[in-house]
Every structure is written in structure tokens, then in C-alpha cells.
A and B are shown apart, each in its own frame.
Chain A
Amino acid sequence: MHLPHMIDEQARTNRWARCHPAEKLTASGVSVLLALTAASPWLPLAVAVAGLAGLSRAGVPGRVVRKALGMPVGFLLAGVAPLVLTLSQPPAAPWLPVHIAPEGLRLAAATLARSCAVTICTVGLALTTPIDDLIWMAQRLGLPPSLSATVMAVHRFLFQFTRTLATLHAAQRARLGFRGWRGTVRSLGLLTANLFTQSSQLALTLERGLVARGGISIGPRPVEAWRPIRVGTMALVGLLVGLWEQSR
């Protein structure tokens, strides 16, 4: 299963799916702020551990968490590498244009800890909160209906087009596309154009249907009864704020 499908399915089926989105947004937002502004690298670590523990409590399977976090953490490890190096000749080897600086190592470690913690918070929010709930919250905070309808359309088309893309890709491969570098570039161009044409046609068909029904705009699914905000989440947020105060 593709990652977007996996994340969307978990967001709708996890144990916290019916918790109020404000509760999850507050916990996630405060955790992100604490990790970003922490003076000590231990606080991002505490945020990361709290985030992973939260995902476990929400019943999100470990393989899904690993799959969702694998790529961003890999990119982060590669991304901090330039922070370790400095552009100057080391005294012991003056022919080298770069060398590893001790302050660079500290900066890379702090950036990696902060980034991992914030990534876990964002992935945690995505894995526990259906996108409709986030759009509903955004509407309550003042997002105009015209823009929320556009965001909803992007979300719904994403899953529709994933299937179209897979079909087009399989058809091209069956006709010996994506072979060699030149063939890959050519196939990619054709795939892009065909996907664009098919997606435009689908949007146009749906638009005509919408107009035929009197132009009623699309919106998020009906809001379900959410569970009341729990004391435990707020206590965890309070604990993290306390740790932040201590670290300063």
C-alpha cells in the first residue's frame, strides 16, 4: 500500500481518531514549539519519545510508523552532513579544502535531534487525525469555504489519481517504457502529459455534474461526535512545558 493511503487509513482507524482535533493539534503544536525553542538537546529527545509513546497508545502499528518515518529520517541524516564540515584547511592536512569542526558536530547533533522530534510530531498528527477534522478546525479558525473546498478537492483527487497513475505506469512498462535513461525521461514526459489530460477530464466531468446539481460546493464529511478533551494529554503537554522551563 502506498504511504498516503496507509497514513489516511491509520488516521481514520486509530484509537484517537475520534478524539477532538483541537486536543491533538494543541499537543502536537506545543511539542513542536518546545522542540524548536529548546536550549538543551535533551528536550527534543523527550518530545520524540513522548510522540512515539503517543503513537503506540493510539494503536498505530510499528511498521506503519517505521515506514512513515524512514524516508524523512534518512534525508535528515544526509542533510546534516554539510553542517559537520567547515570550509578551511586543517593544520595537519593543508591540502584538504574542508575538515570536520567540533562546533559543526554539536550543531549537526542539535539540528538532527530537533528535526527528528518535530518530524515525529507532524507524522504523529497525520497518523492520528483525519484530514477532514483538520480542515474543519481550519474552517473554525477562519479558512474561507472556497479555499477549504479546494483543499478537500486536492485530498480527494490525490487518492483517485494515485490509481490512474499506477494504471498508466503499468501500461507504459508493459509497452517496454522506462527502459534506460533516455527511455525513462521520455516515458516520464508522456506519463506526465497523460496524467494531466486524464485528471483535467475527470475534473471537468465532475464540475459538470456539480453544476447540474445546482453548484453545491464540496465540503468536509459531516462532523462526528468527538470524545471530550482528556486530562492526560494536557498533563503530558504540561510536563513537556515544565521540562522546557527547566532546560532554560
Chain B
Amino acid sequence: MHIAEGFLPVSHAVGWTVAAVPFVGYGLRRISRLVSAQPGAALRIGAGGAFSLLLTSLKLPSVGGSSSHPTGCALGAYLCGPAVMAGLGPMVLMFQALFLAHGGLTTLGANAMAMSVVGPWCSWGTWQGLRRLGVPSAAAAGLGAVIGVLATYATTAGQLALAFPDPQAGIGGAFVKFGTVFAWTQLPLSLVEGVTTVIALKTLEAQDAPEAEAHG
């Protein structure tokens, strides 16, 4: 769900970058403090970033002959916390722009807002909220992942609608237009992301991975 390089007008690209700065800055400060305290943590966080980057290269067949890929936003938020994801996400997005020509450096702020801030926080919030309500952990994790992907998709559709309002129907009409186009791939993808996140967490539990244990 990346906005392509150069797609947004310059004012929107700058605006979204400014909007993402507080969240990304906080995440980067958390990472920086962690790495300053334990230099080896850079390796663990770097491994998490590379893992997230590789997940986006796993293609899945999707509706209409296109393909989709998991984002790992929910899994990352559950295992590292949403604040760290807000700092790690832009690093991953930068590498995606440079090494996969996916997304872009000029749209880094907008993509970071959608995929590193809104998506992980929505996934994590849903997961935590449902667990407090007594929903089983696997169902809460799966639903959190679905909500995270849908929130990312809605944010991107909103960003594009603000940048390119429909000449007749305005921003609302443009949101419907972009949302309808994305829904073909993003709705099935959100379900796939939910299922793969649950399978991944269950497998980590079965392997007695300390990360899965620590995060329930």
C-alpha cells in the first residue's frame, strides 16, 4: 500500500512528512537510547527491520490477477511495540525505495504515517483492547492485524483523496474512488495478513521463542 515516488504534490509530501515527524522522532529516540545502552541491540533491531523488509517481497496471488504481500506491521507491533515500529518503519521504507523501487523517498512521510504509525498503533490497540475484553489471544491478534491493514489502506486512500479531490464529488468522492480501487486487493490481503500473523505467533509459541512468550 505504498504511494509511489513523486506521486504526491510537493505541499502534500512536505505536510505528511511534518505530520509523521513527532511519531517517527519518538520511535527513533527509543531506538537510539536502546542502542546507546546496549550496542548489540542495533543487531536485533536491524534484524527486525530486514525481516520486515523481506516480508514485503513475499508475493501472494490476489484478486484481478494482481499480487499482494504481507506487511508485517501487526507482527512487528506485537513483538517490538508500536513506538519502536514508528522508528523502524521509515528505515524499512527507505530501503524499499532504494532497493526495491517500491514507495519513494519523496513520499516517505506519507507512507510512514500510514504504515509505520497508523497501521501498527491500530493493530496493537485492537489486540490489547480485545485481550482486556477476554477475547482469546489468537483471535485478538488476527483481528488486530486485519484492522491494522484496513486502517493503513484507509489512511492511504485518504491521503490520495486529499491530494487529488474529484472535480465533481470532492474529497469524499475521491476517497470512495481510491478506496474502491484498493479494496480489490486490500480486503483479501487484510484477511490473509490476519491468518498469517496468527500462524506465525502460534509457531513462535510452539518453538518456545522468547519473543512470543514475552508478548503473550
Question: Which of A's residues lie within 8 Å of B, judged by CB?
Answer: 2-4, 7-8, 32, 35-37, 68-69, 71-72, 75-76, 79, 81-83, 85-88, 98, 101, 103-104, 107, 111, 114-119, 122-123, 125-126, 131, 144, 146-147, 149-158, 160-162, 165, 181, 184-186, 188-197, 199-200, 202-204, 206-208, 210-211, 215-218
Contacts and interface: CB of A to CB of B under 8 A. Distances in A.
- Determine which residue in B47, B88, B106 has the highest number of CB atoms from chain A within 10 A of its CB, and name it: B47
A189 B101 contact: no
Contact of A149 (B28, B42, B61, B169): B42
A154 B46 contact: yes
A217 B173 CA distance: 52
15 contacts: A32-B6, A35-B6, A86-B166, A86-B169, A117-B6, A146-B31, A154-B95, A155-B50, A161-B47, A186-B199, A188-B70, A189-B199, A189-B203, A192-B70, A195-B55
Given A118-B104, A122-B101, A190-B199, 19 more contacts: A4-B100, A36-B106, A72-B4, A82-B160, A86-B166, A101-B167, A146-B36, A149-B39, A150-B42, A150-B49, A160-B50, A185-B196, A190-B200, A190-B203, A192-B70, A193-B207, A200-B47, A203-B43, A216-B39
A210 B195 contact: no
Contact of A3 (B39, B54, B99, B106): B99
Contact of B42 (A131, A181, A204, A218): A218
Contacts of A116: 6
Contacts, number: 244
Interface residues of B, number: 75
A150 B35 contact: yes
B6 A115 contact: yes
A203 B207 contact: no
B6 A192 contact: no
A189 B200 contact: yes
Interface string B167-201: 11100010011100100000000001001111111
A4 B99 contact: yes
Given A7-B98, A193-B207, A199-B51, A152 B46 contact: yes
